[in-house]
Amino acid sequence: MNLEIIKQISTKTNTKILFLVIDGLGGLRHPDVGMSELEAAKIPNLDRLARTGTTGLTIPVAPGITPGSGPGHLALFGYDPIQFQIGRGILEAIGLGMRIPPGGIAGRGNFCSLDGNGKIIDRRAGRLKTEENQKLIKDLSSINLKKGSVQLQSGKEHRFALVFEPEPGSTFSENITDSDPQKTGVLPNSVTPLSKDAAETADIVQDFLTKAQGILKNSESANGLLIRGFSDKPDLPSISDLYKLNSACIAAYPMYRGLAELLGMHIEQTGEDMESEIQTLKDIWDKHDFFFIHYKPTDGKGEDGDFPGKVKALEELDKLIPLLLDLDPDVMVIAGDHSTPSVLSGHSWHPVPFIIKSNISQSGDTEKFTEQESRKGALGTIKATDLMSIALAHAGKLNKFGA
Amino acid sequence: MNLEIIKQISTKTNTKILFLVIDGLGGLRHPDVGMSELEAAKIPNLDRLARTGTTGLTIPVAPGITPGSGPGHLALFGYDPIQFQIGRGILEAIGLGMRIPPGGIAGRGNFCSLDGNGKIIDRRAGRLKTEENQKLIKDLSSINLKKGSVQLQSGKEHRFALVFEPEPGSTFSENITDSDPQKTGVLPNSVTPLSKDAAETADIVQDFLTKAQGILKNSESANGLLIRGFSDKPDLPSISDLYKLNSACIAAYPMYRGLAELLGMHIEQTGEDMESEIQTLKDIWDKHDFFFIHYKPTDGKGEDGDFPGKVKALEELDKLIPLLLDLDPDVMVIAGDHSTPSVLSGHSWHPVPFIIKSNISQSGDTEKFTEQESRKGALGTIKATDLMSIALAHAGKLNKFGA
């Protein structure tokens, strides 16, 4: 939907929307079981909501397109993920829980192994141990930039992210080349500007890399580093601007908190599991009118190819649904950012079931909360980017368009 | 779908896609029979694929829009037929099996009847006999252009196509006026340039027309000619560029080979019927990863208003489906370029049933391969332009979009 129109007609009300994202919700039938994960799961609470609420399926990005987590979530909140693309460096950094300061840029890093001539032997330094990575990151954190500052954060094995923060009032440019040539047998590239205004940024980043290389040169295997995917903070209109919502994000995983922060949501401190997230939700219920709460285990089990594990993750979530309903939200949305069928051990393009429950929900012929039954819902198959407007409409938060 | 995005994420794999286009596939219920052609046909093989595969309906161009063969096929291969329009002259020429050389233009011609003053009496020369047409085309083929060369090809009755080929390294322009005023009682128009760079083309084409008129002037009834719809080869991105496919086209009719050639498919020599096409398919199966195979009789019978004929054409095709499945394609797509209901004796805008069969197909509630049952499929009603991405996704040929 056209966000300009939504912005014009959105209106502040006292109604509350609770938006539960079940990560990797959709599945496929397992050949041995003859059922999908949702079909196999005992989920009486979700089934009841599917029978009495408005159901349908969302297409995350476009037919046949498998979304990453970034595009999947952007779409659910009404942002066209093709129009609003988030750079790889930014996604990596927020996935590690880093904050992107105004004017800052982020990049993805690898520790690598270089030979005596400085040529790349192994782009992943033998997938060095995460503890070793953390030690090296500590060493590199002592580096002073020519201007501004740099934060580094270890990921798993050889991976890390880095965020360059400019001096106040100044800006770094993402228009610089990667140092990572993405192949072995060659020297790392120098970072060079891709546009005139990026010359200073390239110089500062290259100076950092030279200093970092100097620190790493005596390491045993991880004696080099490679950076790629420099990107700046995407220019996303905020949820409060677009929808006049006072929104909160409750997510155990940093990536989803980071995404929510890019959309201007208030990020709540919470624990590691869904029970903690629900406790947090209760604690802040009076303070906001839109709550994004994120459930991760379904995606993890799907990625692992663990059919019974994903079934169990759905069943465990189902037991907690009454706690969410106890809060009596005016509108409850239950959706997924994408499918993660355990038979594929990964994300997929398949349309994802959703439920919208409110006092004015229009029920269809859906008997259970499954892929197949959701198709029979009142809304049918829609673009994920349309779900947010529909949720706002159910909450009475959109005025009439035209007289 | 955005072709730029598809191009970014498409990836080369060993999987094979077999794409069967059943021309004019969709139909409507006959008032005497109470069934559509698909509903009346005994097509157990297609029905089985519909039960076990992913089904839905495609909207060829847009709701309510009846497509010609060009737009219908472009959409199936993922090209928006509104964005990519193929000129009438080009379609006529490729429909007659002509090739369009680089820099060339094509036009549609009519033999016509002129009075003593050169004014048009009959734009179709009394629909002269095709043999007479062929004789005249032979006479006209002796004409030498001022620059470049011209090929002529007879169609049926008064119709022909002509292709102007420029000298090597040079280009003809499509920006010239028609000589056909599309009315009687007036002189044929002179061909004039519509843009500065078309002046030479207009002069060469007009010179050809003057010479042709001189040759025809003593013919009995077809003593003149009229040309319209000059167009050059459309600038279509190739299937190999967009999708990284090594594609082949197997089609008995020249029009479909011509369309496929415009998309950069490899055109296979084949026979006149579906059995020959399938033999060709078997012969080349190891050489490509995408196969467009075309079945024409359904459209022909629909155009003729022959309900039982179209039913029979579907049944004959159904018997051959096992031969296609024997090749064990990773993904089998069965689709139509448009509907040709025999009750309408022509193309129509109605959504067209499709099946996608693969190891990871998501089945729905479809019991038979019919218009009504396909609506109950997992994909519902989609744009025809989305079918190609979905087929690529089923074949594992699209990477994840975003992280």
What ipTM was predicted for this assembly? 0.86
On the question of pLDDT at A330 being above 90, the answer is yes
Percentage of residues in chain A having pLDDT higher than 70: 100
Q: Which residue of A has its CA nearest to B402?
A: A68
| Sign of the CA dihedral running B207, B211, B212, B214 | positive
Q: A-contacting residues of B 361-380, CB under 8 Å?
A: 362-365, 378-380
Q: B-contacting residues of A 81-120, CB under 8 Å?
A: 81-82, 85-86, 88, 91-92, 95
Q: How far apart are CA A223 and CA A216, in angstroms?
A: 5
If you average pLDDT over every residue of chain B, what do you get?
Answer: 95
User: Are residues A111 and A20 part of one domain?
Assistant: no
User: Are residues A242 and A313 part of one domain?
Assistant: yes
Q: Which residue of B has its CA nearest to A74?
A: B402
Average pLDDT over residues A133-158: 95
User: Are residues B247 and B223 part of one domain?
Assistant: no
Check if the beta carbon of residue B103 is closer than 8 Å to that of residue B172.
yes
pLDDT of residue A112: 97
Average pLDDT over residues A377-396: 96
pLDDT of residue B17: 98
With tokens 């055109």, the residue in question is B267
Q: How far apart are CA A151 and CA A139, in angstroms?
A: 12
Q: How far apart are CA A98 and CA B282, in angstroms?
A: 56
User: Are residues A132 and A30 part of one domain?
Assistant: no
Residue B403 lies in a domain: no
pLDDT of residue A221: 86
The neighbour count for residue B290, using CB atoms within 10 Å, is 28
User: Are residues B168 and B316 part of one domain?
Assistant: no
Q: How many residues does chain B have?
A: 403
Query: Any idea what the CATH number is for the domain that residue A80 is in?
Result: 3.40.720.10
Query: Any idea what the CATH number is for the domain that residue A117 is in?
Result: 3.30.70
pLDDT of residue A220: 84
Question: Quick check: helix, strand or coil at residue A73?
Answer: helix
User: Are residues A247 and A223 part of one domain?
Assistant: no
On the question of pLDDT at A1 being above 80, the answer is no
Q: Which residue of B has its CA nearest to A58?
A: B379
Q: Which of A207, A231, A255 is the last residue of a domain?
A: A231
On the question of pLDDT at B217 being above 90, the answer is yes
User: CA angle, corner A265, sides to A264 and A268, nearest 5?
Assistant: 140
Residue A399 lies in a domain: no
User: Are residues B99 and B81 part of one domain?
Assistant: no
Q: How far apart are CA B278 and CA B251, in angstroms?
A: 10
Average pLDDT over residues B268-284: 96
On the question of pLDDT at B24 being above 70, the answer is yes
Angular region, B235: left φ>0, alpha ψ -120 to 50, beta rest = beta
Q: How far is CA B12 from CA A12, B6, B250, B297, B399, in A?
A: 50, 13, 22, 34, 10
User: Are residues B196 and B296 part of one domain?
Assistant: no
pTM of the model: 0.89
Task: Give tens-digit pLDDT for A195-250.
Answer: 999 999 999 999 999 999 999 998 988 999 999 999 999 989 999 999 999 999 99
pLDDT of residue A291: 98
User: Are residues A266 and A193 part of one domain?
Assistant: no
Binning pLDDT at 50, 70 and 90, where does residue A385 land? very high
Q: Which of A195, A214, A231 is the last residue of a domain?
A: A231
Residue A360 lies in a domain: yes
User: Are residues A156 and A54 part of one domain?
Assistant: no
User: Are residues A139 and A40 part of one domain?
Assistant: no
Q: Containing domain of residue A301, as a range? A: 3-85+237-394
Q: Which residues of A340-349 are buried (b: 16+ CB within 10 A; e: fewer)?
A: bbbbbebbbb
On the question of pLDDT at A190 being above 70, the answer is yes
pLDDT of residue B1: 60
Question: Quick check: helix, strand or coil at residue B244?
Answer: coil
Residue A248 lies in a domain: yes
pLDDT of residue B360: 87
Question: DSSP H helical segments within B244-395, as ranges?
Answer: 254-262, 274-284, 297-303, 307-325, 371-374, 387-394
User: Are residues A225 and A127 part of one domain?
Assistant: yes
pLDDT of residue B384: 98
Q: Which of A231, A256, A279 is the last residue of a domain?
A: A231
In DSSP terms, B293 is beta-bridged to B20, B250
Q: How far apart are CA A230 and CA A89, in angstroms?
A: 5
User: CA angle, corner B184, sides to B183 and B186, nearest 5?
Assistant: 100
Task: Give tens-digit pLDDT for B314-371.
Answer: 999 999 999 999 999 999 999 999 999 999 999 999 999 999 999 988 888 999 999 9
Q: How far apart are the first and last CA of chain A?
A: 19
Task: Give tens-digit pLDDT for A272-302.
Answer: 999 999 999 999 999 999 999 999 999 999 9
Residues 6+ apart with CB under 8 A from B258: B91, B93, B94, B95, B97, B98
pLDDT of residue A275: 97
pLDDT of residue B220: 84
Residue A403 lies in a domain: no
Size of interface A-B (CB pairs under 8 A): 88
What are the backbone dihedrals phi and psi of residue B77, each rounded to the nearest 5 degrees, phi first?
-95, 10
**How many structural domains are present in chain A?**
2
A65 and B402 within 8 Å at the Cβ level: the answer is no
Percentage of residues in chain B having pLDDT higher than 90: 92
What are the backbone dihedrals phi and psi of residue B342, each rounded to the nearest 5 degrees, phi first?
-65, -25
Task: Give tens-digit pLDDT for B149-175.
Answer: 999 999 989 999 999 999 999 999 999
On the question of pLDDT at A329 being above 90, the answer is yes
Residue B402 lies in a domain: no
Q: Can you give the three-state secondary structure of A228-277, one letter per residue? A: EEEEECCCCCCHHHHHCCCEEEECCCHHHHHHHHHCCCEECCCCCCHHHH
Amino acid at A26: G
B398 and A66 within 8 Å at the Cβ level: the answer is yes
Residue A402 lies in a domain: no
Check if the beta carbon of residue B284 is closer than 8 Å to that of residue B268.
yes
Q: How far apart are CA B307 and CA A62, in angstroms?
A: 37
pLDDT of residue B268: 95
Q: Is A350 on the interface with B (CB under 8 A)?
A: yes
Question: Quick check: helix, strand or coil at residue B379?
Answer: coil
Among A37, A44, A92, smallest CA distance to A68 is for A92
Question: Quick check: helix, strand or coil at residue A103?
Answer: coil
Residue B215 lies in a domain: yes
